[in-house]
Structure 1
Amino acid sequence: MLPLRTGSLLCDYLLRLSALSILLCVAVAIRRIYFHPLSAYPGPKLWAATRVPYVVSLLRGTLNERMLELHEKYGDVVRLAPDELSYACEEAWRDIYMHRPGHKEVVKDDVWYFAPNGMPQNIVTTTSTQVRARMRRLLAPSFSEQSLRAQGPVLEHYAALLMDRLKNLHATRTPPPTDQKHVVVNLTDWLNFYTMDIIGDLAIGSSFHCLDTTAYHPWVRTLYMFYKGMIYAAAARFFPVTSFLLEYCIPAKILAMQRQHTEFTNEKILQRLELEDTLEKGGEAGKGAGRPDLVTPFIKAMRTSPEKMSLAEIQSTFAVILVAGSETTATTLLGVFYKLATHQGVQDKLYQTLRERFEYESQIDVETTRELVYLDAVISEALRLCYAIPGGLPRVVPRGGEIYGGRWLPGGTKLSIRPHVIFHSPTCFYWPWEFVPERWLPVSQRPKEHANDRLSACQPFSVGPTNCIGKALAWAEMRVVVAKLVWGFEVSMTERGDGDEFCWEKQHMMMLVEKGDLWVGLRRRKGEEMG
């Protein structure tokens, strides 16, 4: 036991230390609010003083809602943190994400872009412009128009399989007492099955067989946890001094599922690469190689190019392709069908458009859906209102500073566009919260009230050198399945067992959308059976 005087001195020391710490925090907060290079930008003072409110909103899944409130209050540019600005104006797409002659390129924020589980950086997470350019050059043949034409039958196969499963459900239903031609399904599951089977086939050489078994593959269940783990880790990295403690607090379940995701993916990608090696050596085991997928063009590019990717880089890159190529597409499709189910007039118009173009369902494929203007308008409007990555794409001002939005910013400043905000901006879109596909029609066909809509403000696949490399593939997947499903079924909203109806705006949103169950009623179209 300490002597009384020693204990008193220790207590006094701790009190002084606490007071000094509080004074230091207050001084830092005052400097950040009033004397920081970003002090001239509007925003809540508490957010300017500390990163804590931002991280709390992020982890609660309310950040996008808060961003909307802040931009409505403070304008197009808002200070979100001591060192971060949020933009909600059309011009920011050019300034932040596109190449500007005479200007330095922004870099990805390494707080967010960080490959998990000890994997090397990949095409999405790398913050090096040189590494990203090398990887994009090698992967470009996999996402070319020529490759997409070869991959078309794969997409069409799974779209047809999805339709077969839904038709079978309809045919074998237990008829509800109120509607003898109506079957209720959870469309969230079916859309996940569709996109996961496609990306498995294209990226690792084998489907996850979700549509075959009408059940999730165990790996698929790790998918959202993979992203969620990255978000938790990013939140911890905002506080470097205590990041190791905060990372320790990440739920063990999330970390375990993230490891399972990585281990399974690495194994499957290695197996797919070995097929190509076996074929090159003339072995029979290589019969699966040379397939119309994402790997074959990539391997050909690797063999003919002086540039290479290591095995670990390939595994890390294809792992993120598996996630990005399925989760975001499934989320967008969920938004499309939610909007169609709640806007019967739009659905009827799309159906009539399809009936005018096609005589049989089998005519609906990747090529024939390319030029359907109204189909593209419906998907574009759903991309605007139901964006899969509403949290934005964070960037950092390069060393030495640069000009954005006509104003100089110091190096190290974090900045990004908030898609959830700008996609709903009344400055850019008339009736910004309404589902109006007609705003995307050619000018001569566009309603006059939408003639001045600034459509270029909506860039769901981003722009510039870091835009989505899989944009054409995603569009092809969405066109085919939307056209086939609307051709065959009338889709309507229905309540879940607990009586709670799906609402997009109520979905939990971190940087991604954590999708809930979308229960819909499917009714076969009259005369569809003959098609």
Structure 2
Amino acid sequence: MGNRNRSPSLRALEHSQGPFVRISPTEIAIADIEAWRQIHRVGSDFRKNPKWYQTQAPSQYDDNTCGVFGLNDPKKASARRQLFLRAGTRKIAAEWDPQIKQLVDLTVEKIKRDLRTGQCDVMKWWTLMTADVVGDLAFGESFDNVKNEEKNRLIQDIEMVMPLIGLRMEFPWLFELFMRTPLPQTKEYIATFDRFIGYAQVAVENTRNASKGLTKTLFSKMVPEDGSQQLPDSLIVSEASNVIVAGTDTTAMILTYLVYAVLKDDAIRQRLVAEVEAGPEHPTWEPLENMPYLNNVIQETWRRYPAISGTLPRVVPTQGATLGKFFVPAGTVVSTQAWTFQRDATVFENPLEFNPDRWLNPTPAMKEHIMVFGGPARLCVGQNIARLELLRAVAKFFRECGNTRLAASTTDESMEMMDYFTIEPRAGFCITEPA
């Protein structure tokens, strides 16, 4: 099973063999919603698999050194999440809206300029923009990727390291062989993670300096001006490095696949353009959330093209567990994935069809099967910021660039989703042009 196609391969196995598939001597892939509820409910004693969650970098982490994404102990994870949740509330996210709006406006102006002179790679611009948003929120300063029209070293590092993170997560033995081999690529991989730590250290220092000027970053609640800091700088650095990667790649890919899906269907494009053009020219957050078709298009993109499509492995607790009709012994890894649940034909009619209208009257089952922000116990702490960013970018793009089509070079084959835990198009671009 190739790493780049792991999610669709697992879905095919589950479709042909049933909702419980043993994929290794110690791991079971699960596509049963009742089992998913049991595994991921709040208070669940199924813990994250440390061999998977705490191996994102060249060195092994544990609960004393890793960020919230990899924390195994539920109590420690809950306490750490509370610090992020304070910074990720809707109220706090709204305070960052002016910076997000400014970056979205500049990005769409660059896209319009490219379209006036020929073709435009929207994936490139969304990647530059989302990295700049992370710069504003995490560092208190923009990276100026959009302004300079080129990827800074941070984006280059993210693009280089994601396939290797996927390799380590899914094929640890192959990764260990890679790390023991004196290749230039091995040295560069280690150097890249050293740079991530450097970026994160800058974010922490900028947060400390910004608080003196009454400005905020995503980590302001972790580095309070009154000295009541609850986490050591080393852990805040771990959190910052995670945010840098997660906040850039995922949102950029959702925007890329949304543009691709909408431009593939002219009826969808026309409806979306009509709705955003009928709205205010410079909307606040509330009018954007009150545009039903815009929100349904975003929801359907999350369903059809989940930015994080891969498995979320958990370890069966010491007493074992009955999942479905099977007793699963302690220590077994059980994994579920959004890719499968969000294509469940018993819940979503014609699941491979991109149909925003399915969200006009969603059933409870449809809502439960959308796992774009994780399970109930570990929901994404940045979802309000991500949603605001998407609403602004989609509305602005289709208001200003509504008369756009996909170029001949952008096909179903070029946009095939490659699974590196996060997704990206096989071709590495999404080219549009004036209609």
Same topology, TM > 0.5: yes
Larger Rg: 1 or 2? 1
The residue matched to 1:219 in structure 2 has which SS? helix
How far 1:491 moved relative to its partner?
2.8
Deviation track 1:47-85 (CA, whole Å, cap 9, x = no partner) reads xxxxxxxxxx243x2222321221121122222111211
Question: Which residue does the alignment assign to 1:4?
Answer: none
323-332 or 292-301, which moves further after superposition? 292-301
The 1:185/1:464 distance shift into structure 2, 3 A limit, reads same
Mapping of residues 188-337 of structure 1, within 5 Å? 188-237=123-172, 244-245=176-177, 247-249=179-181, 252-253=184-185, 255-278=186-209, 287=213, 290-300=214-224, 303-304=227-228, 308-337=230-259
- The residue type equivalent to 1:97 in the other structure is H
Question: Which residue does the alignment assign to 2:315?
Answer: 396
- The residue type equivalent to 1:330 in the other structure is A
CA distance in 1, matches of 2:262, 2:371: 21
The residue matched to 1:517 in structure 2 has which SS? coil
The residue matched to 2:68 in structure 1 has which SS? coil
Question: Which residue does the alignment assign to 2:296?
Answer: 377
CA distance in 1, matches of 2:167, 2:226: 35
CA distance in 2, matches of 1:435, 1:479: 18
How far 1:479 moved relative to its partner?
0.7
Contact 1:147/1:293 (8 A) holds in 2: no
Deviation track 1:258-295 (CA, whole Å, cap 9, x = no partner) reads 43443333334333433454567xxxxx54xx324312
Q: Match for 1:408 among 327, 340, 345?
A: 327
How far 1:452 moved relative to its partner?
8.8
How far 1:505 moved relative to its partner?
6.2
CA distance in 2, matches of 1:295, 1:98: 28
Contact 1:108/1:394 (8 A) holds in 2: yes
Matched, 1:151 2:96: yes
Contact 1:232/1:247 (8 A) holds in 2: no
Q: Match for 2:419 among 509, 522, 529?
A: 509
Matched, 1:187 2:117: no
Q: Which residues of structure 1 form unaligned runs of 5+?
A: 1-56, 174-182, 281-285, 444-450, 524-531
Mapping of residues 34-53 of structure 1, within 5 Å? none
Question: Which residue does the alignment assign to 2:10?
Answer: 67
Q: Match for 2:404 among 491, 496, 517?
A: 491
Q: Which residues of structure 2 form unaligned runs of 5+?
A: none
CA distance in 1, matches of 2:347, 2:226: 43
- The residue type equivalent to 1:220 in the other structure is I
CA distance in 2, matches of 1:431, 1:391: 22
Question: Which residue does the alignment assign to 1:116?
Answer: 57
Contact 2:254/2:301 (8 A) holds in 1: yes
CA distance in 2, matches of 1:226, 1:429: 34
Contact 1:340/1:346 (8 A) holds in 2: yes
How far 1:395 moved relative to its partner?
1.2
Q: Match for 1:344 among 266, 269, 273?
A: 266
Deviation track 1:391-450 (CA, whole Å, cap 9, x = no partner) reads 22111112222333364321111112122222112111101110110111136xxxxxxx
Matched, 1:464 2:376: yes
Deviation track 1:315-351 (CA, whole Å, cap 9, x = no partner) reads 1111011111111111111111110110111111111
Matched, 1:164 2:109: yes
The 1:72/1:328 distance shift into structure 2, 3 A limit, reads same
Question: Which residue does the alignment assign to 1:521?
Answer: 433
Mapping of residues 430-445 of structure 1, within 5 Å? 430-442=349-361
The 1:424/1:236 distance shift into structure 2, 3 A limit, reads closer
Deviation track 1:86-137 (CA, whole Å, cap 9, x = no partner) reads 122333432121125xxx4211111211241446211112222233122112
How far 1:506 moved relative to its partner?
2.3
- The residue type equivalent to 1:491 in the other structure is T
Question: Which residue does the alignment assign to 1:85?
Answer: 28
The 1:501/1:95 distance shift into structure 2, 3 A limit, reads same
CA distance in 2, matches of 1:130, 1:297: 19
CA distance in 2, matches of 1:413, 1:66: 21
CA distance in 1, matches of 2:346, 2:182: 40
CA distance in 2, matches of 1:256, 1:243: 13
The residue matched to 2:289 in structure 1 has which SS? coil
Question: Which residue does the alignment assign to 2:76?
Answer: 131
Contact 1:390/1:513 (8 A) holds in 2: yes
- The residue type equivalent to 2:149 in the other structure is T
CA distance in 2, matches of 1:125, 1:77: 25
- The residue type equivalent to 2:315 in the other structure is V
Deviation track 1:454-485 (CA, whole Å, cap 9, x = no partner) reads 33212211122211111111111111100000
Q: Match for 1:366 among 274, 277, 285?
A: 285
How far 1:303 moved relative to its partner?
4.3
The 1:452/1:209 distance shift into structure 2, 3 A limit, reads closer
* Aligned alpha-carbon RMSD (Å): 2.6
The 1:219/1:276 distance shift into structure 2, 3 A limit, reads closer
CA distance in 1, matches of 2:241, 2:191: 12
Contact 1:113/1:124 (8 A) holds in 2: yes
484-493 or 474-483, which moves further after superposition? 484-493
121-130 or 267-276, which moves further after superposition? 267-276
The 1:276/1:78 distance shift into structure 2, 3 A limit, reads closer
Contact 1:112/1:231 (8 A) holds in 2: no
Contact 1:143/1:470 (8 A) holds in 2: yes
Contact 1:397/1:409 (8 A) holds in 2: yes
Give TM-score, length-normalised by structure 1. Answer: 0.74
- The residue type equivalent to 2:12 in the other structure is E
The residue matched to 1:367 in structure 2 has which SS? helix
How far 1:503 moved relative to its partner?
3.9
Contact 1:219/1:261 (8 A) holds in 2: no
How far 1:204 moved relative to its partner?
1.7
CA distance in 1, matches of 2:423, 2:182: 19
How far 1:193 moved relative to its partner?
0.8
